[in-house]
Amino acid sequence: MINKNKIVLIFPGQGSQYTGMGLDYLDLSHKFKDYFKLASDILKEDLTDIVFDKNGAGFKLENTLYSQISIFTLSAVISDYLLDHYLKKDDIFAVTGHSLGDYSALYTGGYFSFKQSLDLVKYRGNLMAEANEKMDGMMAAILGTDYNSLNDLLIKFKGRYKKEVYIANYNDYSQIVISGIRENMEKAIEFLKENGIKKVIPLKVRIASHTPLMMKVSRMLGDYVKSIMLQEPFINFYSSTSQGYCKKEEIWSVLKDQLTSQINWVKTIEYFLNEDVNVFVETGPSKVLSGLVKRIADKNQKDILIFNTDRLSDLNNLKNFLS
């Protein structure tokens, strides 16, 4: 039996962006134009030109700064639309995000205003864009192996070569992202393939997110977050890095540590499943997190409903369920 009062909103991170995302909301929600105008004013560039690939600007969507701001802005538009038309705050058990998605979740939970969140995401995006240019880092998705087996191999790799490579994202039981300095990563990938790992997909970044290598960026972000006056939240926020609910006064340290900490999406979804949450709404572009949640739920033999908000047809599915 589905309990409508145990709905969790999940928010995607970088990588979920695509050209034309949010088109269904352009005329549907007045906040789309308002929020994207404010984001454009802050960027001093027309963000809608970038998102909808006007005047040849679409290539910028792959830039860390623009992708983060556009994903956050669209996620905020959609979450507001859900709360304005479909859901009540009391209907939502919790909000949680995947990396950048934490900022969308915190906005939806009431911790930050939209303007505060936008400034934060811009600052974070700039820091990470600069690190992306300076850090010779690399990230890669490892498919088809379990966490413990991969971790054991990385321990052996470190022991043999005295080089450190980290598990950055535990996305589902057979999709894990590793991260580190490019030289070390290339050697590690070679080692993993020699030891039976068959599928490795390098990601299009030159940064080592969610590892101790991000310590300098993490400290700068933490100092910035600490200077912002938070609001009283009205929806609980669950962190996929610290693995727990966060009090208002803890948010600055959670966001600071997020860049150096592993995202454990598996453990996050397992927590909600154990709390008998069985309705998940992916709030933002694409459907990446929905696939991860479904595989985690299936592995745990849990019956759940997953709704997307990427298209209007997806919203109709949610509307029909709620009515």
Q: Is 40 marked active-site?
A: no
CATH of domain 136-202: 3.30.70.250
pLDDT digits (tens, 9 = 90+) for 203-223: 988 899 999 999 999 999 999
Q: Is 99 marked active-site?
A: yes
- Residue 176: strand pairing partners: 142, 170
What average pLDDT does this structure show over 152-173?
98
Report the percent of the chain where pLDDT is more than 70. 98
Q: Mean pLDDT for the chain? A: 95
Among the residue ranges 120-134, 186-200, 254-268, the one predicted with the least confidence is 120-134
Cα–Cα separations (whole angstroms), residue 56 to 109, 263, 286: 36, 34, 22
> Which tokens belong to 6?
């145990």
Encoded amino acid at 215, one letter: M
Q: For residue 61, name the pLDDT band (cuts at 50, 70, 90).
A: very high
Could you state, in order of their start, the residue ranges of all structural domains in the chain?
A: 7-133+212-322, 136-202
Query: What is the predicted pLDDT for the residue at 1?
Result: 46
pLDDT digits (tens, 9 = 90+) for 292-317: 999 999 999 999 999 999 998 899 99
Encoded amino acid at 195, one letter: N
Catalytic-labelled residue, pool 16, 75, 99, 218: 99
Catalytic-labelled residue, pool 16, 179, 210, 218: 210
Q: For residue 318, give the 3-state DSSP assignment.
A: helix
Answer whether residue 135 shows pLDDT above 50: yes
What average pLDDT does this structure show over 227-239?
96
Q: Which residue has the higher pLDDT, 1 or 63?
A: 63
Residue ranges of E strands in the chain: 7-11, 92-97, 137-143, 166-172, 175-181, 199-202, 238-239, 244-245, 263-264, 279-282, 305-308
| pTM reported for the whole predicted model | 0.97
CATH of domain 7-133+212-322: 3.40.366.10
